[in-house]
């Protein structure tokens, strides 16, 4: 039985645009809102409740959100702006300063995670108890979830077969600025603890960290199919040449004091689910053959708007350039999915497919009439009769549709159910540690993930690289120290985030899989930022011969850990 406790500090999302909104009361008395917010329909409902008005009296207008990473899901200054707009009869604009946001809003929760694990002599895990304490700050109103808990606690067992698992998780109120959501809420904290703990267990039983994980990783997925965790682990390890020499690949050996850099390798793996919920899609086939798609999705840089247009183009067999995507207000659709929990592609994509199927069915009688057939079937961009004749969607639109043909328009709302599907992401890191100063230089990182069908290659890779760079900052430099309940580094001159000079060689390995999203796509938005801290921490621990129990991994902590390792 082995027990370790890990501590993780508060960090900030590092978005560029501060919180902002404009509110105007219209001549009809309706409240118009232009917010920097990723959950427009949630905001509408929250504001209606706060000002005691029906939701029909409020309309949220789309804006381009200048960075989010989980932070912009709360109402922020919108209720106050609404009150002032009503009192003054004039539009009201609130724009926070970057320092205001850094000091007061929605940081990632500081956390303390204690893990106790029981092992057999062969290294098989038989039992685990995990206690997670999330420090939520002075209040929980910046989290749009009803219970305020973070879903990261759901992954405290890691992607491992553990027959006896008990998890306790708490969100506690403290005298410090309030915390909220940040990319994969609560999961990076837990994953760092779980994966650093796994390396310490491997050391105790004398196993290579990769071999120890392969012994314990789940062989089957929660859906009953073959698990991909082992394959993803091996791909990440192979990408940095793990089997060539294993961990501890250079320098004078762990913990030694010399001028030669200490080199270490580390690996970490996580599993993560895919989001679900309600989403809508509105599609019109225009008389010129173009397609208008109305969506309520937020534009916060995730690339989902492009994905939705691609899905519609694929389903209707038209060129991507023929799709016109319109971002509607909350009046345009019954509801729509917000940006959260790896759900936008899954929910919005399936809503778009449902709308395409319905508009194809509505237009089929017109196609049959044009072909002089009793019945037609859809066939790659148009309809085909039993005798083989074909009319394309564009030909039908030009010949048979007017400016208001009812069959050419459809609006659907769907509800994607919760899925047991799990995606896996393993990352392997190689670091170099200066033995005199404790400075950590990240040589390279490999990220291996099972992907499902990749709909947008550029956007998919951008999510991997962006998430990984966020993970590097989280692991090596980002923290928000407190002095008397106040943040001591209150602006981006003192709060350090990675720059291009901090980014090492990044290696991407995509493992083919089948996901529950449109065209069997999986989720990628939150996954790549989660295992990075554990992989880097394990690489540093391998280099210096001592455990890393807290983030970020500063030079002072490294020197202290080396000293303690040499005193043992």
Q: Which residues are catalytic?
A: 526
CA 427 to each of CA 133, 265, 561: distance values in angstroms, whole numbers, following the listed order: 25, 11, 23
Nearest to 555 by CA among 434, 462, 461: 434
CA pair distance 324, 305, nearest whole angstrom: 11
Q: What is the bridge-based pairing of β-strands 20-25 and 440-450?
A: unpaired
DSSP states of 210-260? HHHHHHHB-SB-TTSSB--HHHHHHHHHHHTTHHHH-S--BTT-TT--SSS
Nearest to 421 by CA among 331, 492, 523, 316: 523
Nearest to 31 by CA among 92, 76, 115, 110: 92
518 torsion bin: left (phi>0), alpha (psi -120 to 50), beta (else): beta
For the chain, give me the number of helices (H) and strands (E)?
13, 21
Q: What is the dihedral of CA 466, 471, 473, 476, to 10 degrees?
A: -150
Strand partners, 265: 430
In degrees, rounded to 5, the angle at the alpha carbon of residue 119 between the alpha carbons of residues 114 and 121 is 150
DSSP states of 5-52? EEEE--B----SSPPEEEEEE-TTS-EEEEES-S-HHHHHHHHHHHHT
Return the DSSP state at 494: T
Q: What is the bridge-based pairing of β-strands 505-511 and 440-450?
A: parallel
CA pair distance 400, 394, nearest whole angstrom: 10
Residue 14 structure tokens:
């590092």
For 63-84, what is the HEC assignment? CECCCCCCCCCCCCCHHHHHHH
Nearest to 41 by CA among 29, 53, 66, 58: 58
CA pair distance 135, 485, nearest whole angstrom: 13
How many other CB atoms are there within 10 angstroms of residue 451's CB atom?
22
In degrees, rounded to 5, the angle at the alpha carbon of residue 191 between the alpha carbons of residues 37 and 206 is 170
DSSP states of 300-340? SSSSHHHHHHHHHHHHHT--GGGEEEEE--TTTSS----S-
Strand partners, 131: 114, 168
């Amino acid at each position: 039985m082995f027990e370790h406790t890990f501590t993780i500090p508060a960090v900030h999302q590092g978005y560029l645009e501060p919180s902002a909104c404009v509110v105007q009361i219209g001549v009809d008395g309706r409240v118009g809102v232009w917010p920097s917010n990723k959950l427009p329909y949630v905001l509408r409902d929250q504001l209606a409740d706060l000002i005691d008005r029906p939701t029909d009296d409020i309309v949220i207008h789309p804006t381009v959100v200048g960075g989010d990473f989980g932070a912009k899901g709360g109402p922020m200054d919108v209720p106050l702006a609404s009150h002032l707009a009503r009192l003054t009869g004039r539009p009201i604009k609130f724009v926070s300063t970057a320092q205001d946001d850094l000091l007061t809003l929605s940081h990632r929760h500081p956390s303390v995670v204690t893990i106790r694990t029981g092992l057999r002599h062969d290294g098989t895990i038989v039992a685990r108890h995990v206690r997670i304490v999330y420090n939520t700050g002075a209040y929980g109103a910046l989290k749009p979830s009803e219970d305020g808990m973070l879903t990261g606690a759901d992954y405290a067992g890691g992607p491992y077969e553990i027959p006896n698992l008990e998890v306790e998780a708490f969100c506690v109120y403290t005298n410090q600025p309030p915390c909220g959501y940040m990319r994969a809420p609560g999961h990076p904290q837990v994953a760092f603890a779980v994966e650093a703990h796994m390396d310490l267990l491997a050391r105790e039983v004398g196993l290579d960290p990769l071999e120890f994980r392969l012994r314990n990783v789940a062989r089957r997925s929660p859906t009953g199919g073959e698990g991909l965790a082992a394959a993803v682990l091996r791909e990440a390890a192979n990408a940095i040449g793990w089997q060539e020499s294993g961990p501890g690949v250079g320098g004078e050996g762990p913990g030694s004091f010399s001028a030669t850099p200490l080199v270490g390798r580390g690996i970490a793996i996580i599993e993560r689910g895919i989001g679900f919920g309600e989403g809508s899609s509105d599609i019109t086939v225009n008389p010129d053959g173009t397609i208008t798609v109305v969506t309520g999705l937020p534009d916060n840089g995730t690339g989902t708007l492009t994905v939705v247009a691609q899905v519609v183009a694929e389903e209707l067999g038209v060129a991507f350039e023929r799709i016109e995507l319109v971002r509607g207000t909350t009046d345009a659709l019954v509801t729509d999915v917000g940006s959260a929990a790896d759900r936008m592609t899954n929910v919005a994509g399936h809503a778009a497919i449902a709308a395409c199927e319905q508009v194809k069915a509505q237009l089929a009688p017109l196609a049959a009439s044009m072909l002089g057939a009793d019945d037609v079937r859809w066939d790659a961009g148009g309809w085909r009769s039993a005798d083989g004749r074909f009319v394309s969607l564009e030909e039908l639109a030009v010949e048979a549709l007017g400016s208001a043909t009812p069959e050419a328009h459809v609006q659907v709302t769907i509800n994607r159910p919760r899925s047991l599907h799990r995606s896996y992401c393993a990352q392997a890191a190689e670091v170099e540690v200066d033995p005199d100063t404790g400075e950590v230089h990240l040589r390279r990182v490999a990220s291996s993930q099972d992907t499902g069908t990749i709909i947008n290659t550029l956007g998919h890779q951008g999510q991997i690289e962006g998430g990984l760079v966020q993970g590097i900052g989280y692991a090596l430099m980002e923290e928000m120290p407190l002095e008397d309940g106040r943040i001591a580094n209150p602006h981006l001159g003192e709060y350090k985030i990675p720059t291009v000079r901090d980014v090492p060689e990044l290696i991407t390995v995509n493992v083919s899989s089948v996901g529950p999203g449109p065209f069997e796509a999986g989720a990628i938005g939150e996954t790549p930022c989660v295992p990075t801290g554990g992989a880097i921490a394990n690489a540093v621990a391998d280099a210096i011969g001592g455990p890393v129990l807290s983030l970020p991994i500063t030079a002072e902590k490294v020197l202290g850990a080396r000293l303690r390792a040499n005193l043992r």
